[in-house]
Every structure is written in C-alpha cells, then in structure tokens.
C-alpha cells in the first residue's frame, strides 16, 4: 500500500494514426475517473485538457499506428520521455484498420482520396508501435475495454501483474451462458482464435466475433478457415473475416495471405 507522501505517478496519453476511440475509453471511466485522478497525475492528455506538464513521464499510454515519417520519429521521443510505455488498441498493437493498405500499394489510393496528392507524405505501411520502439505492455481491442484499461492502471499502481489473459473469446461466451453461434446456427465467428477481453459482446448480441481483440495465444486460424468453408463461405469471404481491425497481426495476416494465394 502506498502512502500519501509518495508523489503521484505522471501519466501521458499520446495519439498517433487512430480514431481517438481508445483514449476516450479513459474518459469513459465515469465512475472510476475521480478515484483514478486521485491516484495519478494526468500530465499530458490533449483530448482531456490543454494544461500540459512537461516530461519525463512515469507511464505513457500510446494510441494509434505509425503511418508517416514524422510519426516514425515522434514515437522515439515519446519512448525516451516514458519510464513505462503501454500501447492501447488495435492501431497501436497491430496497425489498425488502416493497415489494410499494407496489402496493396498506398500510392494507388492517395489520388483517389486527396485532391492535392502532392501534399501527402505517408509511409507504405501502417505499423504497430512495437515495430519501432520497445513496448512494455500491450492492451488489445478496437476499441480497448475500459475495464482492462482500469485493470492495467490499477496493476501498475499496485506493482502487480494485470489480470488480462490471452485466452479465447469462447471462454467469455461460456462464462456468460451464450450458446455457440457457430455450432447452434452455423454463423461464422472468429471467437475461437480471438483474444478475450471484450466480454464476448458481439456473440451476446447474436453476431459472430469480428476479432477486435486480435489473435489469442496459439491461434489455429487454418482449422477455423477450413470450418468456415464447410459452413459455406468462399475463400475470398473467409479472407475478409481475417482482414479486419487486426488484419496485420501476424497470425491473421498469414492466414489471409494464404487464402489470397489460394484464391488466385
């Protein structure tokens, strides 16, 4: 237990290529945010306050992926000013939905999107933070779960391991009493290869898992693909399943590339 004489840890929240949804999870901690504000000093969080406290910071939460040469440099500055760096969300941990560009040539898209493409400086790939700097802990999700965010901050404050395990979404479905959608209705679901943490929200609302929390430990994507085709999905349709918010996470990327190769 900490005493009140200890200085409060300084926390910074950084944004790279992302939609802001994950850092908003912090503001979404309505009931807990006051207690949290009592335990930490929120030193840099542009989404919440224009009052900035200079670094270095004890803990940095990093949202977003690296998509520009400028950001590829900036992340090193963030790392240098942070004692502990935790990435939050699918963009920061796997490149995000914008990493779909990694499967084609980004230069083909720029003129379609921007009126003056000459002003655009972008990298060929959208990459996760851990491809650039050392990351102490990764929090998955699109968006992250606010419960997991609080848990990781709580664990940090108490010097313990976070209770976040890379098991399957199926285990959350079973704990919640959801019958398996794939078995009972033949609905394709990424749950068996996806990491738990969301509380199995999609299957609870009668939708197959989209894989927002990325691959679980030892995911058997090939076997699931095989079962999807037995459920009647075409190879391109199965490919789409794996190429989502976490499409660039290695197990999902490899599976979709195999499917792409086999579809050609």
Partner 1 sequence: MCSEKGKGEAMFTIDVSAFDDLLSAIKAKGYALLGPTIRDRVVVYDQISGSKDLPIGWSDRQEGGTYRLNKRKDQAFFGYSVGPQTWKKFLYPDHLKLWEAHSDGSRIEIEPATPESRRYALIGIRPCELAALAIHDRIFLEGPYLDPHYQALRADTFLLAVNCTEPGGTCFCHSMGSGPAVKQGFDLALTEIVENDDHYFLVNPGSDRGAEILQEVVYHEATAEETARAEKALSDAEYRMGRYMDIDNIRELLYRNLEHPYWEEIAKRCLNCANCTLVCPTCFCSTVEDSTDLSGASASRTRMWDSCFTSQFSYIHGGSVRQSAMARYRQWITHKLASWQDQFGTSGCVGCGRCITWCPVGIDITEAVWALRESEGETRREKTQLTGV
The residues, any chain, with a CB within 8 Å of residue 35's CB and separated by 6 or more, are none
Per-residue x/- mask for partner 1, residues 149 to 168, rule CB under 8 A? Answer: --x-xxx-xx-x--x-xxxx
DSSP alpha helix (H) spans, 101-142: 106-113
Interacting stretch for partner 1, rule CB under 8 A, among 54-62, 63-71, 180-188, 252-260?
180-188
Q: Which of residues 186-245 bind partner 1 (CB under 8 A)?
A: 186, 189, 191-193, 206, 217-220, 222-224, 226-227
Quote the tokens at residue 253: 């990327």
The residues, any chain, with a CB within 8 Å of residue 169's CB and separated by 6 or more, are 190, 191, 192, 194, 195, 196, 198, 200, 203, 209, 213, 216
How many whole angstroms separate alpha carbon 137 and alpha carbon 62? 10
Shortest Å, Cβ 253 to partner 1: 19
Instruction: Between 141 and 192, name the residue whose CB sits nearer to partner 1.
Output: 192
Instruction: Between 109 and 137, name the residue whose CB sits nearer to partner 1.
Output: 137
Beta strands at 82-88 and 137-139: parallel, antiparallel or unpaired: parallel
Shortest Å, Cβ 174 to partner 1: 4
How many whole angstroms separate alpha carbon 255 and alpha carbon 251? 6
- Positions that interact with partner 1 (CB under 8 A): 1-3, 32, 35-36, 38-39, 151, 153-155, 157-158, 160, 163, 165-168, 170-171, 174-175, 177-180, 182-186, 189, 191-193, 206, 217-220, 222-224, 226-227
């Amino acid at each position: 237990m900490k005493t009140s004489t200890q200085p409060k840890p300084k926390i910074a929240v950084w944004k790279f290529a992302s939609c802001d949804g994950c850092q908003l999870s912090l503001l979404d901690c309505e009931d807990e945010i006051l207690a949290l504000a009592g335990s930490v000093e929120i030193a840099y969080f542009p989404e919440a306050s224009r009052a900035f406290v200079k670094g270095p910071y004890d803990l940095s939460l990093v949202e977003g992926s690296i998509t520009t040469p400028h950001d590829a440099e900036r992340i090193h500055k963030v790392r240098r000013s942070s004692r502990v760096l935790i990435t939050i969300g699918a963009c920061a941990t796997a490149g995000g939905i914008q990493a779909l560009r990694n499967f084609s040539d980004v230069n083909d898209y720029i003129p379609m999107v921007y009126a003056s493409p000459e002003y655009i400086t972008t990298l060929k790939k959208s990459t996760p933070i851990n491809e650039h700097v050392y990351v102490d802990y990764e929090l998955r999700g699109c968006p992250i779960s606010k419960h997991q965010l609080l848990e990781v901050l709580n664990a940090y404050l108490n010097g313990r391991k976070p209770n976040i395990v890379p098991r399957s979404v199926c285990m959350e479905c079973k704990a919640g009493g959801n019958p398996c959608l794939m078995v009972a209705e033949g609905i394709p679901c990424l749950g068996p290869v996806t990491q738990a943490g969301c509380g199995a929200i999609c299957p609870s609302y009668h939708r197959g898992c989209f894989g927002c929390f990325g691959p679980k430990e030892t995911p058997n994507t090939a076997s699931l693909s095989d079962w999807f085709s037995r459920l009647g999905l075409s190879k391109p349709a199965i490919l789409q399943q794996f190429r989502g918010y976490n499409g660039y996470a290695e197990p999902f990327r490899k599976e979709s590339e195999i499917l792409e190769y086999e579809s050609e």
